[in-house]
Amino acid sequence: MNDGWRPCSDRSLERDDPLAGTAGYGERWFLVEIDGAWGAHAFLQSRLDPGLGRALVDRIEAAGIRPLAIRRTGRNADQRRAQKRWRWAAIDARPGSESVRWGSVTDPWNLLQVPLDGSTGELSIEPVICVCTHARHDQCCAVKGRPVVTALARRHPTRTWECSHLGGDRFAATMIAFPHGMLYGRMTSDSALTIFEQYRSGIAHPEHLRGRTSLPNAAQAAVAIAAARTGDRRIDAFGFVAEARTADGWSVTLDHNGESLVIDLVETLSPPMLTTCSAVVAGPVREFAERTLPTANSAV
């Protein structure tokens, strides 16, 4: 019996869940080409040998790096295997150190010997755009991610990849722009094309930006507030300097054109919610808002 169930991304949009400050942390990423269908865990339930998939994830995560499976839109595993090449990318998303290095192996087991520090591979100046289409993780990612990645791949076929879970299923369609690790949510085909063009020009798009993955969540929210306050939408406009815990939130210091900019945030917990389509237990999530100072006539 249907009790009013709706996809998690539809519920999130109705609640108007805030996007800023919701990007999962990741300073460095290691992308592995895995064509074909993915199970709930792309590395463990795919055409890769499960033992290899487990060893890869353990190795990548032990180095403090986020693993991400990627695949080309419209290409199946047999077509890719006929090429006898498995591509990989080592991405550094740390501010000031952003880089993408591509490489490939002819035997997937050789992925276990690829250095993870970016010391090998071909340095690329081309941006990489990844859209989550991980249906077995959450149906919203496939339903809303598929038209987005199709539109991007039609316009930018060499730069566009489907990818595994990025986090924040309730914000589907989600996409990430590398090497800066700019994570966006609630994408449509039109907005994704616009945002990618802006990204290539060094401009962030705050209306859909969840955050830069190399920054802590509070800093992500602070940058969004600073961009709205100043109107400066450059990707590197605000350098993260420090954050300090306060009684009910955070004080985040940013560098803007050589001057310190302090953003005071209040951190709260949302009402309990089902954050994915498959969730059965509701729970609260962290939310950030700029601290507002009391006005002169607010005291009684």
Last residue of a domain, one of 195, 210, 225: 210
24 within domain boundaries: yes
Q: Is the pTM of this model over 0.85?
A: yes
pLDDT band for position 300 (cuts 50, 70, 90):
very low
CATH code, 193: 3.40.30.10
Q: Give 94's DSSP letter.
A: S
Domain count, the chain: 2
| Last residue in a domain, options 159, 180, 210 | 210
Task: Identify the weakest region by mean pLDDT among 37-46, 73-82, 209-218, 255-264.
Answer: 73-82
- Indicate if the alpha-carbon torsion angle 23, 283, 16, 150 is positive or negative: positive
Q: 234-245 burial, b if ≥16 CB within 10 A, otherwise e?
A: ebebbebeebee
> Is residue 92 located within the same domain as residue 17?
yes
Secondary-structure breakdown of the chain: helix, strand, coil percentages, each rounded to the nearest 5: 25, 30, 45
pLDDT 10s digits, 96-146: 999 999 999 999 999 999 999 889 999 999 999 999 997 656 677 888 889
Interior CA angle at 172 toward 193 and 78, to 5°? 80
User: Do both 165 and 275 map to the same domain?
Assistant: no
The model's pLDDT over 269-295, given as tens digits with 9 standing for 90+, comes to 999 988 887 778 889 999 999 998 654
Are 81 and 191 found together in one domain?
Answer: yes
For residue 283, give the DSSP letter.
B
295 part of a folded domain: no
User: Of 179, 210, 241, which marks where a domain is finished?
Assistant: 210
The two tokens of residue 285 are: 């999530």
Residue 121 near residue 144, CB atoms below 8 Å? no
What share of the chain in percent tops pLDDT 70?
91
CA angle 228, 232, 235 (to 5 degrees): 105
Domain that holds residue 177: 8-210
pLDDT given for residue 76 in this prediction: 57
Residue 3 located in a structural domain: no
Together in a domain, 205 and 223: no
- Together in a domain, 154 and 85: yes
Residue 51 shares a structural domain with residue 193: yes
Average pLDDT, the chain: 90
